[in-house]
């Protein structure tokens, strides 16, 4: 386990306490408790639909919990007023799965958006910062006048990363940063995540299915299990530890996931489908 | 139509079960409608609060003013012109039976200014701008762009909804004036050039029938129509369901609900404005 006995509550940048989230009749997160110290790179693993993205969006306050608390730097994110939450979110960077670039704006305007929101930089400063961030993620100056639709998927992800980095955030959240990219571009993104951490003492939360990403960037790995597949009193976090501990983990479900083996999962899925009455 | 993959097709319903399911389905519809109404009311309230809390940034306002105002002008002008001419065509035969052709000016212009101008401008706005707003916001919702705005500390209501609302609120009266004017011009040219109605009597009758209050009444209605279109369309887009079908549904629903809202508001505002008129002028409509 990464968390040590001597760690104090105030050492944690993010504290998730007994978080439960229900959508309609479906419980996605059940009683999740997770503490993330400043400077750590945490990788959230788990099969599709296990609630990784919901957990990450709950941490930044985009999804309100049905029960439980999320504390960021000691502040309950769901009890802040609009002004406070807007201010606190400038300390976050969020890289969305599909980049989520504003398609009505140019690349330059997209990357400049968080800077303009703050409203304390001149146009020259903004231009300089945008070009510098774009160059850090390996994009030429010429892209600033292009629209997102004119760029490839990999370039869009890098623009998304540049936009998340432009405010020098304390915490960066990556939602499946390598999904849909070729192996080379996936590794480029992994390198960028690593370099970002080397350059700034930033806390990172990475949601991914990609074991290469997990092994390359993680200080700590947390694996979630889909809530419907759990026993009533079982924790939804089925693994919490380092990369080395993950590889030695004897849990069959963890091993199946890291080795990419379907095992009896196909039979289980068929059983679930039949039970659902389709 | 029930299909093989209809989610209800595998229910084994007994007679009693069918009755209770029927009741439950109706109850479900009522509950869903109440939830939607509550959610819409909260959405409107939040927009109003943001409008008075902090002004939106100018770079979000002007593009919306341009899209709602400038881009809608040609189509509103064109439809206004044709509706004026159509009114002349449709009314001429009836009025000519009684030798009242010169009264056409009063009828056409009063109908346009009180009723058709505002409703026509609002319908064009709902079709041209409202649907586009719903589709744009819906696409932003399903591609996480709205979440991205929130994640960067920008409130989506302030950034996306308030500018669109202000554009519709302030510019629909101008579009209505344009529809009124072009309708007046279309009706006049058709009556004068095609039907050969005397110009002097045409305008004389218009002046007798159409009052400033009629113009005022039309413009007041238009402000309500514009507000309803903005709120309904933005709400539909903001709460868009996933996928291409969700965006299509948001766009269609925005027009349908906006149009229904325009007609319902038109009825009640018509009754309200008449009450105000009779309270102000107890002797009734001048000259009629």
Measure CB to CB from residue B152 to each of A103, A117, A278 and give the nearest one: A117
Measure CB to CB from residue A62 to each of B136, B143, B151 and give the nearest one: B151
Chain B residue with CA closest to A164: the answer is B152
Which has more confidence, B36 or B17? Answer: B36
Which residue matches tokens 């998927």?
Answer: A153
Contact call for A102 and B145, based on CB within 8 A: yes
pLDDT band of B13, cuts 50, 70, 90: low
Contact call for A100 and B155, based on CB within 8 A: no
Average pLDDT over residues A81-104: 88
Buried/exposed B169-206: b ≥16 CB within 10 Å, e otherwise: bebbbbbbbbbbbbbbebbbebbbeeeebeeeebbebb
For residue B82, what pLDDT is reported? 94
Query: What is the complex's ipTM, to 2 decimals?
Result: 0.83
What residues are paired with A205 via a beta bridge?
A42, A173
pLDDT at A130 exceeding the cut of 70: yes
What are the pLDDT digits (tens) for A212-260?
888 888 889 999 888 887 777 888 888 888 888 888 888 888 888 877 7
pLDDT band of A275, cuts 50, 70, 90: low
Contact call for A86 and B10, based on CB within 8 A: no
What are the pLDDT digits (tens) for B221-258?
999 999 999 999 999 999 998 888 899 999 999 999 99
For residue B141, give the DSSP letter: H
Identify all chain A residues contacting B148, using CB atoms and an 8 Å cutoff. Answer: 94, 96, 100-102
Pair of tokens at residue A34: 């997770």
Chain B residue with CA closest to A175: the answer is B144
C-alpha distance from A40 to closest chain B C-alpha (Å)? 21
What residues are paired with A95 via a beta bridge?
A174
- Please give the full DSSP string across B48-96, using - where no structure is assigned: HHHHHHSPPPHHHHHHHHIIIIITTHHHHHHHHHHHHHHHHHHHHHHHH
C-alpha distance from B87 to closest chain A C-alpha (Å)? 41
Q: Which of B246, B255, B265 is nearest to B129 (CA)?
A: B255
C-alpha distance from B186 to closest chain A C-alpha (Å)? 38
For residue B136, what pLDDT is reported? 93
C-alpha distance from B61 to closest chain A C-alpha (Å)? 14
Contact call for B144 and A87, based on CB within 8 A: no
Q: Which of B206, B202, B182 is nearest to B193 (CA)?
A: B202
Q: Is B151 an interface residue toward A (CB < 8 Å)?
A: yes
Contact call for B151 and A82, based on CB within 8 A: no
State how far the Cα of A213 lies from the Cα of A187, in Å rounded to an integer. Answer: 8
State how far the Cα of B43 lies from the Cα of A45, in Å rounded to an integer. Answer: 36
Burial class (CB in 10 A: 0-12, 13-18, 19+), B288: exposed
For residue A190, what pLDDT is reported? 87
């Amino acid at each position: 386990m990464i968390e040590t006995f001597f760690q104090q509550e105030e050492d944690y940048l993010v504290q998730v306490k007994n978080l439960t989230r229900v959508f309609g009749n479906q419980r996605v997160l059940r009683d999740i408790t997770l503490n993330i110290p400043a400077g750590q790179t945490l990788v959230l693993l788990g099969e599709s639909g296990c609630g990784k993205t919901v957990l990450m969006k709950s941490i930044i306050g985009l999804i309100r919990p049905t029960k439980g608390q999320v504390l960021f730097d000691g502040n309950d994110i769901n009890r802040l007023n609009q002004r406070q939450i807007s201010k606190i979110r400038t300390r976050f960077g969020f890289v969305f799965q599909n980049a989520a670039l504003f398609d009505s704006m140019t690349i330059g305007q997209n990357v400049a958006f968080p800077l303009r929101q703050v409203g304390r930089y001149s146009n020259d400063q903004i231009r300089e910062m945008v070009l510098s961030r774009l160059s850090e993620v390996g994009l030429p100056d010429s892209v600033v006048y292009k629209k997102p639709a004119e760029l490839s998927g990999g370039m869009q992800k890098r623009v998304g990363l540049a936009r998340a980095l432009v405010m020098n955030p304390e915490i960066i959240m990556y939602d499946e940063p390598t999904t849909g990219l070729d192996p080379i571009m996936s590794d480029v993104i992994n390198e960028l995540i690593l370099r970002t951490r080397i350059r700034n003492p930033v806390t990172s939360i990475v949601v991914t299915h990609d074991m290469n990403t997990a092994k390359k960037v993680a200080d700590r790995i947390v694996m979630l299990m889909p809530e419907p597949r759990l026993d009533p009193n079982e924790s939804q976090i089925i693994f919490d530890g380092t990369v080395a501990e993950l590889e030695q983990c004897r849990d069959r479900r963890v091993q199946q996931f890291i080795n990419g083996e379907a095992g009896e999962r196909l039979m289980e899925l068929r059983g679930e489908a039949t039970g659902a009455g389709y | 139509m029930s299909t093989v993959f209809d989610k209800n097709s595998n229910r084994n319903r007994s007679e009693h079960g069918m009755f209770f399911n029927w009741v439950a389905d109706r109850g479900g519809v009522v509950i869903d409608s109440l939830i939607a109404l509550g959610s819409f009311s909260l959405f409107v309230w939040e927009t109003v609060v943001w409008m008075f809390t902090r002004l939106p940034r100018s770079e979000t306002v002007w593009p919306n003013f341009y899209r709602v105002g400038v881009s809608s002008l040609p189509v509103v002008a064109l439809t206004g012109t044709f509706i004026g001419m159509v009114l002349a065509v449709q009314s001429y035969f009836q009025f000519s039976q009684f030798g009242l052709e010169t009264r056409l000016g009063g009828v056409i212009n009063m109908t346009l200014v009180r009723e058709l101008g505002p409703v026509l401008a609002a319908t064009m706005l709902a079709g041209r701008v409202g649907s586009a707003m719903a589709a744009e916001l819906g696409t932003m919702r399903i591609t996480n762009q709205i979440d991205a705005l929130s994640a960067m500390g920008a409130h989506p209501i302030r950034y996306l909804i308030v500018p669109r609302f202000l554009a519709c609120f302030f510019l629909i009266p101008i579009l209505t004036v344009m529809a009124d004017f072009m309708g007046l011009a279309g009706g006049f040219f058709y009556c004068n050039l095609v039907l050969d109605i005397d110009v002097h009597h045409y305008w004389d009758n218009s002046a007798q029938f159409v009052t400033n209050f009629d113009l005022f009444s039309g413009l007041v209605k238009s402000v309500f129509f514009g507000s309803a279109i903005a709120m309904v369309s933005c709400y539909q887009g903001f709460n868009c369901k996933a996928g291409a079908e969700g965006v299509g549904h948001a766009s269609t629903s925005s027009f349908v609900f906006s149009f229904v809202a325009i007609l319902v508001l038109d009825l009640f505002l018509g009754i309200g404005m008449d009450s105000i008129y009779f309270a102000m002028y107890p002797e009734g409509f001048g000259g009629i």
